[in-house]
Structure 1
Amino acid sequence: MKAYLFPGQGSQFLGMGKNLYKKNNLAKKLFQLADEVLGFKITSIMFEGTKDLLKNTKYTQLAIYIYSVIKAKISNNFNPDMVAGHSLGEFSALAAIDVFSFEKGLILVNYRASIMQEICESVYGGMAVVFGLEDEIVEFFCKKDNGIVVPSNYNSPGQLVISGEYKALKRVCYSLEKIGGAKRILILPVHGAFHSPIMEPAKKKLKIFIKKMEFKKPKCSIYQNVTGKSVIKSSDIKKNIVNQITFPVKWKQSIKNMIKDGAISFTDIGPGNILLNIIKQILKNRI
């Protein structure tokens, strides 16, 4: 069975989509449609924008969504048996398997990015990757801290992202360094505490917004971040992408369940190959 994966923030790169625009007529049409629907030239930010501009949440999420969905739409080989998307990538996956249209997905992602950006600007939050420690150890120190800091991305064995108030995040990182055992702890270059309780106001707004949208039955099963399991029912998909804002991304659980359910090949359909590198670590720890 063929599985297709869609990345989230962090996979963007300068000039992303420019070659697709030049070489493929359908891609060009969809890029132009994106500018039209959004009411501003997201293509200019993607093709000629600066690194700082592109990493701004309200543009990053749109850029990755547009690039990923267009790659799926112009591919002659995109015929998945199952899909999964990492955080924002879940929205790209849903558009690619026609749960909603490219245009409606644009409006949805634009709204999601804007309400998350509002919180990023009002709350000093951050994220950090912890390499080489067992999940239970990291979870323990997050719970022990008096501030808001939680596990936010279970990427692969020995790679867990934590998210929360910046001061609390720094305290937990310091505690983990003090006990030893971690190969590396990396503070990520983001200003948001994604997939944490800090995003609760955005979650409430997104729930109201999504309630008005029609979600069609997907062409294949999607393994969603919140559960790590196969989902096919539209109402469940809606509920899960709302909860995703404050819940951790269960990525390694999703990949393990996809393999268990018959996945024998994985294709990263977005920018870069970050997800394939993570899968290599997951498979390495299964042997």
Structure 2
Amino acid sequence: MQAPKSDQFSRFSFIVEIATQMREAMLPYLDTSGMKETVRVAHSGDTTFGLDVVAEEALARAVQNSGEKIACYSEDKGLIQDTSNPEWLLVVDPIDGTRPLICGFEMGMISIAVSPFSPTATFSEIEAGILLEIRTGDIYFGVKNQGVKILSRAKKKLNPSMTTDFKKMFWSYDSVGRPSRWLFHYLGEMMDISGMEAAVFLFSNVTFSLTRILTGNLDAYVEIGGRILKDHPESKEEFLKIGNGRIMGTFPYDIAAAYLLLQEAHCPMTDAYGNSLEQIPLLNLEKSSQILSCVAAGNTTLHGKIIQSINQEA
């Protein structure tokens, strides 16, 4: 028998506490000098900025203080297992959207997904997820088969869009590390159609976009980096040039928590072919081997139309 809904959320409240402690540690450093400085290259291959270091250090302290038996995989450090018999695997992006956040914008999120510990864990095994908006403190918290809670001073509500017309579609995409000519090849027609009566945005933050699908502020999010590489292997050299010798794109830690939340909200989220993400491994142990693609929407009709449009441009 399943525990009551409130008990299920309570069982995973430790990820809320971890995210909250991380935010509190970062707040004094927002908009201070030095946070835009490049410090190193992360385990993922992305640039580590000064604020990313603050976030990673805060994550380590919060995990240690949690009292839980945790192995933690993060963007900057990779897999850290400080206990011999972990119960939980946390897949963490300490800051999704560092670039807009250090420029003073609100698009900065803490993303944590949790599954039972296994080196071979997949998206299907995610038990809970949290996205915490760093500047506002808004929390999006979901537990498998129990739904989504939004804790917001602005009293945001779960309200996915029913828009199905590209002309009325407010949506976003991502570009960091992706060759622009291929992005416009696949997405240009949708951009043209939606540009006048709606809009297309570039936030450089996947989780910010996906939370706005939950609230209905956005109708869709499209990320096609992984599909570009599969459809056009010759584009690899362009990815490497843009990424300073590394292939950059969407990794499991970018979307794991958001995936659980959208599943609980009955919002479709697949790869850019329309395939399920359920069997995608959570641990990106071979770095660029897991460049993903992602299409999410407020409803299945719009999602299907987006996949069809991408297929036509392939």
TM superposition score category, shorter chain reference = under 0.3
The one of the two structures with greater contact order (alpha-carbon pairs below 8 A, sep at least 6) is 1
From the two aligned structures, give the one with the greater strand fraction: 2
Name the TM-score, length of structure 1 as normaliser.
Answer: 0.27
From the two aligned structures, give the one with the greater helix fraction: 1
Name the TM-score, length of structure 2 as normaliser.
Answer: 0.25
